[in-house]
């Protein structure tokens, strides 16, 4: 341990020169946590194989305080994985050393920077170690005191205590100052300790610049048996540079060359040849999980009179998938008897995690599980995923392989009213880079699409319907991401009606009504909203007079807009039916009629185009 003061000095040196070279960066936020992270990395506590970052039993480190990235990279420079030339490329366009940690840097576990999310990711990694892989690795999360005001942090803390994650260690860098002044509790570390204990965590208070104290804290943390641990460190922002220490208005600012030289004089001689060593983890692999033999017929929902709600079909599909794929994990926000994730939880309780009504934490926890190689399917009402949009947005930057399932979408849910109606969910998930958005119309499509989601790498969203709906397709029907189904067509089609989910059933009713009057329409099931089946849409545009999209969703960001954008070079007119007013409670049929997305509205629209 005698080498730690000199290593800490070298870490500070790299923080200083990298931020000045960049001309920006959160230098003072990095300097306050130098001793905390230097001790973790080079004091014998972190077990990590630098030659194999993906080794399953490596300890995990998450900088939830992502703006302290100069410190993060400095640690790997001291470890010999970055040279001084590379450390000076901080924040440059061709450098992997981004302003906040990204997975372009090989030692980054997860992209961070939107504060409050890192502890939840750590919960996911700790759940994986304790309950799935059965490995002894620890997960360490560095938090800033500013982000402790985020509600998601406390969502993560209560869940970590609930699951007794003694393999999760948080470190709060209480440096008193945020971006614009003092944080919520300033240097009152007793308040943080009190709250941590109240949430079921072992709480350890230290001087964040006292190396022996920090060492003892990590030693104690590793010995706790039945609860997570929070190390609460009183630190000084800008520590090590006199004119920065505990000074406001330095957040996110780098030193100029003259200031850098002054800081380096204060720092003193630095041995740049010094290298810190990390301890290696035990050579252990994940437990060889054997899929249990399960009588699926005991658990699955059976169609009644050839009808089955797609939310119930999801429960069947994910349970069947779980019987074949041991990587599938299911999470739900305390509505599993409505999303029908409870079918899976009953059959495979060891791979189901109840996340309670804390959707932000659920999404970020799923990121942690996905980064550890699992395939999390996470479910709640489609409306409630909007609460976690920032977490979903950040998941894309970690290339998290998460499968979202939103039930109770649109006005067709009925009497529960607008607070429960997912009417913005398609727009939200369409906006995510490289996402897939799927909307099955029957039980067969649901099962096929769930399997396709599991095979697809990346974020995908399945939109399920509350109402019982008829089974349209045979079991042998094939589906694909980017596909569609033409349910009815002829050479005499005047209009093509494009629908999905509940509105497909309305389009089929409209088809049958119009057919009685010898009016032919084409009916297209747009089950893949993103990506679209452009070939089928272009064919319909060429072969009919007009296209009509019908969706149980608001106009903006819905699939009507997606179809119009895809066919922008086509001259065929495109009309859209969508929810265009604030909904209310009522019977599903009444609400769809009021929104003018039912069969009657479709018939009227088609007749107006004749």
State the SS3 of 438-479.
Answer: ECCCCHHHHHHHHHHHHHCCCCEEEECCCCCCECCCCCCCCC
Going by pLDDT thresholds of 50, 70 and 90, the confidence category of residue 409 is very high
pLDDT at 11 over 80: yes
Q: At 327, which CATH number?
A: 3.40.50.970
**Section 168-191 average pLDDT:** 97
Domain of residue 532, residue span = 485-608
CA distance 272 to 6: 10
Q: Are residues 183 and 330 in the same domain?
A: no
Active-site residue, selected from the candidate residues 359, 424, 447, 506: 359
Q: Are residues 455 and 496 in the same domain?
A: no
Q: Which of 123, 322, 328 shows the shortest CA–CA distance to 230?
A: 123
Q: Are residues 261 and 387 in the same domain?
A: no
**Residue 3: which residues within 8 A CB-CB, separation 6 or more?**
42, 274, 276
Q: How many helices (H) and strands (E) does the chain have?
A: 23, 17
**Residue 134: which residues within 8 A CB-CB, separation 6 or more?**
286, 287
DSSP 3-state of 579? strand
Phi, psi of 47 (to 5 degrees): -105, 110
Q: 581: buried, middle or exposed (CB in 10 Å: 19+, 13-18, 0-12)?
A: exposed
Instruction: Quick: pLDDT tens for 234-253.
Output: 999 999 999 999 999 999 99
CA distance 203 to 517: 75
**Residue 407: which residues within 8 A CB-CB, separation 6 or more?**
311, 314, 335, 338, 339, 340, 379, 380, 381, 382, 464, 465, 466
Q: Are residues 533 and 452 in the same domain?
A: no
Active site annotation includes 447: no
Q: At 513, which CATH number?
A: 3.40.50.920
Q: How, if at all, do strands 328-332 and 521-525 pair?
A: unpaired
Q: 45: buried, middle or exposed (CB in 10 Å: 19+, 13-18, 0-12)?
A: buried
Whether 127 maps to a domain, the answer reads yes
Whether 479 maps to a domain, the answer reads no
**Residue 309: which residues within 8 A CB-CB, separation 6 or more?**
464, 465, 466, 467, 468, 469
**Roughly how many angstroms between the first and final C-alpha of the chain, as a whole number?**
85
Helices within 222-256 (DSSP H only): none
pLDDT at 73 over 70: yes
Which of 463, 496, 520 is the last residue in one of the domains? 463
Q: Which of 256, 259, 341, 252 shows the shortest CA–CA distance to 301?
A: 341
Residue 302 has a pLDDT of 83
Count of the separate structural domains present in the chain: 3
DSSP 302: P
Q: Are residues 489 and 457 in the same domain?
A: no
Q: Are residues 444 and 585 in the same domain?
A: no
Q: Are residues 261 and 317 in the same domain?
A: no
Going by pLDDT thresholds of 50, 70 and 90, the confidence category of residue 437 is very high
Reading the block at residue 243, the tokens are 């004119």
Helices within 340-465 (DSSP H only): 342-347, 359-371, 382-385, 389-397, 425-430, 443-455
Reading the block at residue 23, the tokens are 């001309």
Percent of the chain exceeding pLDDT 70 equals 100
Contact 570, 541 (CB under 8 A): yes
Q: Are residues 500 and 456 in the same domain?
A: no
Instruction: Quick: pLDDT tens for 96-153.
Output: 999 999 999 999 999 999 999 999 999 999 999 999 999 999 999 999 999 999 999 9
Reading the block at residue 5, the tokens are 């003061």
CA distance 436 to 441: 16
Q: Are residues 325 and 393 in the same domain?
A: yes
**What's the CA angle centered on 374, arms 371 and 379, to 5 degrees?**
100
Q: Are residues 207 and 313 in the same domain?
A: no
Going by pLDDT thresholds of 50, 70 and 90, the confidence category of residue 562 is very high
Instruction: Quick: pLDDT tens for 572-596.
Output: 999 999 999 999 999 999 999 999 9
Q: At what angle do helices 599-608 and 502-516 cross, to 10 degrees?
A: 50
Going by pLDDT thresholds of 50, 70 and 90, the confidence category of residue 1 is low
CA distance 18 to 83: 11
Q: Are residues 49 and 166 in the same domain?
A: yes
Q: 393: buried, middle or exposed (CB in 10 Å: 19+, 13-18, 0-12)?
A: middle
Instruction: Quick: pLDDT tens for 80-100.
Output: 999 999 999 999 999 999 999
Instruction: Quick: pLDDT tens for 260-302.
Output: 999 999 999 999 999 999 999 999 999 988 898 888 888 888 8
**Residue 482: which residues within 8 A CB-CB, separation 6 or more?**
528, 531, 532, 533
Q: What is the DSSP string of 158-178?
A: HHHHHTT-TTEEEEEEE-SB-
């Amino acid at each position: 341990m005698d080498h730690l003061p000199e290593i800490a000095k070298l870490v500070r040196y790299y923080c200083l020169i990298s931020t000045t070279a960049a001309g920006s960066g959160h230098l003072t936020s990095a300097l306050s946590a130098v001793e905390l992270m230097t001790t973790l990395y080079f004091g014998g506590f972190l077990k990590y194989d630098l030659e194999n970052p993906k080794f399953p039993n490596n300890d995990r480190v998450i900088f939830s305080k992502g703006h302290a990235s100069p410190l993060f990279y400095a640690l790997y420079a001291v470890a010999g994985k970055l040279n001084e030339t590379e450390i000076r490329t901080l924040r440059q366009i061709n450098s992997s050393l981004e302003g906040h940690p990204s997975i372009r840097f090989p030692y980054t576990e997860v992209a961070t920077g939107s504060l409050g999310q890192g502890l939840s990711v750590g919960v996911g990694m700790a759940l994986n170690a304790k309950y799935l892989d059965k490995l002894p690795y620890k997960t360490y999360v560095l938090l800033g005191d500013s982000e402790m005001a985020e509600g998601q942090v406390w969502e993560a803390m209560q869940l970590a205590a609930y699951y007794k994650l003694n393999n999760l260690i948080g470190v709060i860098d209480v440096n008193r100052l945020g971006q614009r002044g003092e944080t919520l509790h300033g240097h009152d570390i007793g308040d943080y300790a009190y709250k941590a204990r109240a949430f079921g965590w072992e709480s350890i208070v230290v001087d964040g610049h006292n190396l022996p104290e920090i060492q003892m804290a990590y030693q104690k943390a590793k010995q706790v048996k039945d609860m997570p641990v929070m190390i609460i460190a009183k630190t000084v922002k800008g520590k090590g540079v006199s004119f920065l220490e505990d000074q406001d208005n330095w957040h996110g600012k780098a030193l100029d060359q003259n200031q850098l030289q002054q800081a380096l004089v204060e720092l003193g001689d630095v041995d740049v040849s010094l290298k810190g060593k990390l301890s290696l983890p035990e050579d252990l692999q994940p437990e060889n999980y054997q899929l249990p033999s399960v009588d699926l017929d005991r658990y699955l929902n059976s169609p009644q009179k050839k009808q089955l709600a797609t939310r119930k079909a999801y429960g069947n599909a994910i349970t069947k998938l779980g019987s074949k794929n041991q990587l599938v994990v299911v999470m739900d926000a305390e509505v599993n008897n409505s999303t029908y994730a409870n079918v899976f939880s009953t059959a495979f309780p060891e791979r189901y995690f109840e996340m309670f009504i804390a959707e932000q934490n659920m999404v970020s926890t799923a990121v942690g599980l996905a980064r550890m190689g699992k395939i999390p399917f996470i479910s709640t009402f489609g409306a409630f995923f909007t609460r976690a949009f920032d977490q979903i947005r950040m998941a894309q930057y970690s290339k998290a392989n998460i499968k979202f399932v939103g039930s109770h979408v649109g006005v067709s849910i009925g009497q529960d009213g607008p607070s429960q109606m997912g009417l913005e969910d398609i727009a939200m998930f369409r906006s995510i880079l490289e996402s897939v958005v799927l909307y099955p119309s029957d039980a067969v499509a649901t099962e096929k699409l769930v399997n396709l989601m599991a095979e697809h790498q990346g974020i995908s969203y399945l939109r399920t319907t509350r109402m019982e709906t008829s089974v349209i397709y045979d079991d042998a029907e094939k589906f694909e991401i980017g596909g569609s189904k033409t349910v009815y067509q002829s050479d005499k089609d005047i209009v093509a009606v494009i629908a999905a989910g509940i509105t497909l059933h309305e389009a089929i009713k409209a088809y049958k009504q119009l057919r009685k009057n010898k009016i032919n329409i084409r009916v297209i099931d747009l089950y893949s909203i993103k990506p679209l089946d452009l070939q089928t849409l272009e064919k319909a545009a060429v072969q009919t007079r007009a296209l009509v999209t019908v969706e149980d969703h608001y106009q903006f960001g819905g699939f009507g807009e997606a179809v119009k954008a895809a066919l922008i070079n086509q001259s065929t007119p495109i009309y859209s039916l969508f929810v265009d007013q604030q909904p209310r409670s009522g019977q599903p049929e009444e609400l769809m009629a009021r929104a003018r997305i039912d069969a009657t509205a479709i018939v009227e629209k088609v007749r107006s185009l004749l």
